[in-house]
Amino acid sequence: MRIFIGILFLLISLLAEGQNIGDLFKSMPSELLPGVSEGNKTMLLVDSGETTVPYALGEIKKLRQSNDYLEIKTSDIGTTQWKLLPIEKDSTIICVIKTVCANACDSHISFYTTNWEKIDNNTFLPEISQEIFFDSSKKEMENYKYGVSLQHIYPISAAFSESGSDLTLTFNYKPLLTEDQIAEIKPFLKSDTIVLKWENVSFRQ
């Protein structure tokens, strides 16, 4: 019921016909990319990828762009992705993924209307934690709880392909664990990556 109400609201409020990611990037609130001027936004959109522009954290550079997708390098360790996701024939939402790769890559995912009003993530995204990478059928095995409960193996990065709407999640635990710890948890992992498929209502495994 909650999802139905959320989608009904979006169908009423989102009028995205004719908009592409470039239009929306230029209208984006400054707090989502602080310190980048309107002129620099335009430069990034028309640039072939060789030019960098000034930014609070150094320089930024466009990495990939299509009609519904944009990825920008925002620092030596950071990137931001913007993706238009269709929910009905003439309606879309914007998914924004900010990723920081310090000791290990970790992403923050958020959703917006095309008027840049924030939407509750629960409407479109299942709960993301390290547990989705573990094989729950092995819960009763020795050391399963140890593997799941390690406090410092949470980093999960998210990425779109340039042309697709599916979301690939990567569990970046290896840089933060010893070889012995990796050997402890590997038998309980389904995979280091999981693909969430966009089904015009939400992401699903």
Condensed to tens digits (0 to 9), the pLDDT of residues 141-150 reads 777 777 777 6
CA distance 46 to 110: 26
> pLDDT per residue over 115-169, tens digit each?
999 999 888 998 888 888 888 888 777 777 777 776 566 799 999 987 789 999 9
**How many other β-carbons are positioned within 10 Å of the β-carbon of residue 169?**
22
Q: What is the mean pLDDT of residues 40-54?
A: 75
Distance CA 122, CA 2 (A): 10
- Is the pLDDT higher at 46 or at 97? 97
Check whether 1 has a pLDDT greater than 50. Answer: no
14-30 pLDDT, tens digit each: 444 457 999 999 999 98
Rounded Cα distance between 85 and 123, Å, is: 13
